[in-house]
Amino acid sequence: MYDKASIALIPSGFKSGVVDNLYSVLPSNGNGDFNHSRSSIATRVNKDGLIESVAADVPRLDYTGNVDCPHLLLEPQRRNLFTDSDLSGISPITSGDGGVADTMLSNGLSGKKIDITSSGRVFYQLFATCVIGTQYTVSCYVYNFVGEAESNFIDITVGGNSEDFSSSLITNGRMQGTFTATATSVQIRIGIGTTSNRTGTKSAKISGIQLEDGGSGVDATFATSLIHTTGIIETRSADICNSSGTSAEFNDSEGVLFAEIAALANDGTNRRIAIPNTGFTALHRLEYFSTDNSINAVTYIAPSPSNEVVLSHTLPDSTKFVKVAYKYKTGDFALWVNGVEVGTSVSGNLPTGLTKLNFDNGSGSNDFYGKCKQLIYFNEALSDSELQTLTS
């Protein structure tokens, strides 16, 4: 079936340059390669499970959750308001029988090892200037912790907001929480403490301390990849990945757009993958929609007051990888998700002059921020059995 594809992106390699090319498997002449840009360095998880930095503009092939198969990681602009992400220059506050030593985490980050026994307490106290009403996400990596079964002995506490994010929220070694600032200055404490009903030895390795926003007054409703800081606030620029294909690869009369993707969060934004025409007045697209856990297939032609076709499906969890395909053909539109046809339409006009495949709405907004294992375009309408196989 893959021999019917005219464009196939299976993230595996790239070519460095002023704007880095993300290689597509098809077509072999390079017409399907994507232009990727990001004006800052960024981090990824490599195949050995280590967090490493990559240069500006370099696409990130990230192995989080799968050491055998990377995904393309595309993220929005974020900045880390904490200026010492590995805690190398911050002294902890200790009491009782608590102690701290330099260490290395299993993900390759330099950090601190905290050890306490029955009456100890160790925490790091950090401050940041905030914009009232803006959402911030605080996070850190926590590994090799031992202690009482009821958890709750590793805490991130936001002073003034009465927020307490406990160790029960650790996912893939990362603890995180989101809050809305109620003051222009917040105090955040990260560490291990004890109370009178807790006894026994407790320890943890922590690093990658991060307090994110999207820029002054711009919300950050979920944690993104680590932004290293060593003395100043650092910003990671947004990933932009577009311009795959030429008119030769696309068929105005029929085709299939297939993707294996996951959202970074169920965050109420529109995140799109589109095939537009030259003037961006008509297109086909797949999208994570603003409605909770919703994925849509859309055909649009301007200046129509509404979309020609909209097929919607609610996912159990948009942050989990899904295989989705959108078939278009006169009188025959269909949306397939994980081996099941979930929506059809027999009406709708078709765009003409299709020229590109973009990780956005076709004209530079509603960028797709998420993870992508495969993105494939077929310039013919596949059969139901082929679509079932493709998305299973």
CATH of the domain at 212: 2.60.120.260
Cross-strand pairs, 80: 212, 234
Please, are residues 148 and 202 in contact by the beta-carbon 8 Å criterion?
yes
For residues 82 and 186, what is the distance between their CA atoms, to the nearest angstrom?
12
- Residue 256 corresponds to which tokens in the numbers above? 């299939």
Please, are residues 328 and 343 in contact by the beta-carbon 8 Å criterion?
no
Q: Is 247 helix (H, G, I), strand (E, B) or coil?
A: helix
Domain boundary among 193, 221, 236: 236
370 located within any domain: yes
Q: Both 243 and 383 in a single domain?
A: yes
Structural domain count of the chain: 2
For residues 391 and 388, what is the distance between their CA atoms, to the nearest angstrom?
5
Residue among 51, 31, 32, 33 nearest 42 (CA): 51
Question: Which secondary-structure segment (H or E) carries 386?
Answer: helix 384-391
Residue among 65, 135, 75 nearest 263 (CA): 75
Q: Both 373 and 245 in a single domain?
A: yes
Q: Both 316 and 261 in a single domain?
A: yes
For residues 219 and 369, what is the distance between their CA atoms, to the nearest angstrom?
15
Q: Both 93 and 213 in a single domain?
A: yes
CATH number where 369 lies: 2.60.120.200
The predicted pLDDT at position 159 comes to 74
Q: Both 284 and 356 in a single domain?
A: yes
Q: Both 258 and 128 in a single domain?
A: no
Please, are residues 126 and 210 in contact by the beta-carbon 8 Å criterion?
no
Q: Both 84 and 232 in a single domain?
A: yes
148 located within any domain: yes
48 located within any domain: no
Q: Both 193 and 300 in a single domain?
A: no
Q: Both 162 and 220 in a single domain?
A: yes
The predicted pLDDT at position 306 comes to 81
According to DSSP, residue 291 is labeled S
Q: Both 119 and 184 in a single domain?
A: yes
Please, are residues 203 and 144 in contact by the beta-carbon 8 Å criterion?
yes
Domain boundary among 236, 258, 279: 236
71 located within any domain: no
What range does the domain containing 387 cover? 2-36+239-391
The predicted pLDDT at position 303 comes to 87
The predicted pLDDT at position 197 comes to 45
Say what the pTM is.
Answer: 0.93
Q: Both 370 and 251 in a single domain?
A: yes
Q: Both 294 and 330 in a single domain?
A: yes
Give average pLDDT by consecutive 10-residue segment, the chain, 392 residues.
Answer: 92 63 90 94 96 95 90 98 95 86 94 84 90 94 67 69 65 85 90 60 88 95 97 97 96 98 95 95 96 96 88 97 98 98 97 97 95 98 98 98
For residues 193 and 147, what is the distance between their CA atoms, to the nearest angstrom?
11
Domain boundary among 236, 271, 289: 236
